[in-house]
């Protein structure tokens, strides 16, 4: 591992579990890290106790990290990491853009996964509106915050249209247990990261319905085919969906006990109403809002997405889970490559 760091300090925006884990990663890499979140009480707790008891209670953050909810306390940073939920990216970016301290950043990294409802824009496209003169990158992959916080072996991909920036960001996220690769296909990895979430809900539903391993494996495989079809139509390259940001992330979120989307699906399959599930946790299951935005984007582009259509019908049209799964199995036969 190279010891030379291209950037000396970082600002992590968003104090959920993933933001907390990435804060620890950057601090361990040797960077000076500022950590910002909206909740004053939570950020005071983190600053005073070095723990985020709400989202990642098992992790003790280094004393060098400066946590705050006050925008006026933020100092200029070379590297800015956006880790707020996808639906909050536009508002947060707009607020942050008003700070002169952030205009000097060398790169802004998007770590959320989603497509904006109505506009159909990727998250880096939204960030570019507030930071038109700053390089933008994406960090994505099969990365559960719970495992990263325990320094378990992890791999991710950094995507940026500028190869030199991608390599610099890669250096910041390289540790003996955290390995990163680079890509220049920003559109591909962003669409892959957004699309895997609804399919994780479907995999959870199949588990809740006790459909068996064969059915879940078939569902995940056809989900990947659908992701490629949609992602390529939106400007991504097929090979990006075969990498960490595509099939890697899809497998992790469709099968892992840490996946919020998988949990939501399992509970739906077991008969719990969606509203009850969503109100029972502070954690954001991105697959629920992602389903609406992705379904709208697919219809606008004319992309065939039978799996996504049924997921949408279950989440937003109250279609019974068993009926939706039956509809998928009773579709007309076709070649696997279609």
Q: Is 199 annotated as a binding residue?
A: no
Same structural domain for residues 163 and 59? yes
Residue 336 lies in a domain: no
* pLDDT digits 0-9 by tens, 110-126: 999 999 988 999 999 99
Same structural domain for residues 153 and 253? no
User: pTM here?
Assistant: 0.92
In this structure, are residues 67 and 46 in contact, taking their beta carbons and an 8 Å threshold? yes
Same structural domain for residues 167 and 230? no
Which of 144, 160, 184 is a domain's end point? 184
The enclosing domain of 258 has a CATH number of: 1.10.1040.10
* pLDDT digits 0-9 by tens, 275-316: 898 887 766 678 888 899 999 999 999 999 999 999 999 999
180 contact partners, CB below 8 Å, separation of at least 6: 139, 155, 156, 157, 158, 169, 170, 173, 174
Same structural domain for residues 119 and 216? no
pLDDT of residue 283: 64
Same structural domain for residues 191 and 180? no
Same structural domain for residues 193 and 178? no
Active site residues: 196
Provide the domain limits for residue 163.
Answer: 9-184
Residue 276 lies in a domain: yes
Q: Is 141 annotated as a binding residue?
A: yes
Same structural domain for residues 199 and 178? no
Q: Is 53 annotated as a binding residue?
A: no
Task: Give the pLDDT band of residue 11 (cuts 50, 70, 90).
Answer: very high
How many Cα atoms within 13 Å fall on the side-chain side of residue 59?
A: 28
Q: How far apart are CA 287 and CA 292, in angstroms?
A: 9
Same structural domain for residues 136 and 24? yes
332 contact partners, CB below 8 Å, separation of at least 6: none
Residue 1 lies in a domain: no
């Amino acid at each position: 591992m190279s010891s030379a760091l291209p950037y000396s300090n970082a600002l992590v925006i968003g104090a959920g579990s993933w933001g907390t884990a990435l804060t620890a990663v950057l601090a361990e890499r040797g960077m000076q890290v500022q950590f910002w979140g909206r909740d004053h009480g939570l950020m005071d707790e983190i600053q005073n106790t070095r723990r985020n008891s709400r989202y990642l209670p098992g992790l003790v953050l280094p004393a060098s990290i400066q946590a705050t909810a006050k925008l006026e306390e933020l100092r200029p940073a070379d590297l800015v990491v956006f880790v707020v939920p996808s639906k909050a990216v536009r508002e947060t970016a707009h607020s942050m853009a008003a700070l002169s301290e952030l205009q000097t950043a060398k790169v802004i990294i998007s770590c959320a996964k989603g497509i904006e409802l109505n506009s159909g824009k990727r998250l880096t496209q939204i960030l570019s509106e507030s930071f038109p003169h700053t390089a933008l990158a994406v960090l994505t992959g099969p990365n559960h915050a719970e495992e990263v916080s325990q320094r378990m072996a992890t791999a991710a991909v950094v995507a940026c249209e500028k190869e030199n920036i991608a390599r610099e960001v890669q250096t910041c996220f390289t540790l003996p247990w955290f390995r990163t690769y680079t890509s220049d296909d920003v559109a591909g990895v962003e669409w892959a990261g957004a699309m895997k979430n609804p399919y994780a809900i479907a995999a959870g539903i199949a588990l809740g319905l006790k459909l068996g391993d064969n059915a879940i494996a078939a569902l995940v495989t056809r989900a990947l085919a659908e992701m490629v079809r949609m992602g390529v139509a939106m400007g991504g390259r097929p090979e990006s969906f075969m990498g960490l940001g595509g099939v890697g992330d899809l497998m992790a979120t469709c099968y892992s006990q840490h996946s919020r989307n998988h949990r939501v699906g399992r509970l739906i399959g077991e008969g719990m109403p969606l509203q009850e599930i969503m109100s029972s946790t502070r954690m954001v299951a991105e697959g629920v809002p992602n389903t609406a935005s992705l379904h709208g984007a697919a219809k606008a582009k004319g992309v065939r997405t039978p799996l996504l259509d049924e997921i949408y019908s279950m989440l937003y049209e109250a279609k019974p889970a068993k009926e939706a799964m039956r509809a998928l199995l009773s579709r007309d036969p076709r070649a696997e490559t279609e």
